[in-house]
Amino acid sequence: MKKNILLSALLAISVSFSSLAGGGWTPKKKKGYFKFGQNMLRSNKFYSPSGDIIDITTISLYTTSIYGEYGLTDRLATIVYAPLFVRNTINKQESRQTGMLISDGDMANSIGDLDLGIKYALTYGKSIALSGSLTLGIPTGITNGGEGQILQTGDGEFNQLIKLEASKSFYPVPLYVSTLVGFNNRTKGFSEEFHFGVEVGYTFKEKLTTTFKVYNVSSFKNGEAPTSAGNAIFSNDTEFFSYGPEISYKISDKLGVSGSAAYALSGKRILATPNYNLGVFITL
């Protein structure tokens, strides 16, 4: 299997990529960015604990969400990621040798895990924008959905992600670069994580912005929770190194559309499948 197969980093990658949207900058007071998005994936492949790609029963995950950043002051902003509707399905399983039915398919529909955060500008009006943020992962999703009680729309644990982000604009050249490092403290026996991301964006004629994003999550492997979930999605000790493009187009000063995809260089304990996101955003 080629290593450039698209990576399903699921909700995690969606939130991570969205969180790079503001970078080290915070929106000004009473200004903000809000995105209504749809994330789509379907997979019969899985990255094993050793990083190999193996076959599994086909699993699908569709997430409808809202992401937003809003300035309380010029330096302090609130952040929200709300998976309003998550549909998790698993196909029926048949024996490859006999064709006999082994198990029926199953599905679960619910909300996902809610993320609430704050971001503070450590520098303001400087050539390099530096900010710190704290995001709380609220376990509002389900962990025992469907008739088989194995389908999930969340991981069931409360986590706290601390990040430091830095951004640089090269104006008048319409180019910017953002980076971040983060530490994710997890509960319920889940391992802590190290996060790292880079984003480069270029805007054409003040309308079309092309962005290239890299995001990495590494597990400290210090937890006691199971390292595989029943439906191969919300596992402990998941790891990935992902990259992908995003294109955003401003229809007007306040309204725009975006589309993105994520690709994998490596992964462990996570689905291997195309991960697409389409969205509509507004700026205040």
pLDDT in tens, 159-200: 999 999 999 999 999 999 999 999 999 999 999 999 999 999
Residue 62 has pLDDT above 90, yes or no: yes
CATH 3.40.1190.20 fits 10-283, yes or no: no
* Residue pair 201/176 in contact by the 8 Å Cβ criterion: yes
Bridge partner list, 118: 78, 134
Mean pLDDT of 29-38: 96
Mean pLDDT check: name the lowest of 42-46, 98-102, 219-223.
98-102
Asked which of 8-12, 62-66, 92-96, 148-152 is least confident by mean pLDDT, the reply is 8-12
How many CB atoms sit inside 10 A of residue 92's CB?
A: 12
- Extents of the domains making up the chain: 10-283
Instruction: DSSP letter for 98, please.
Output: T
pLDDT at 4: 41
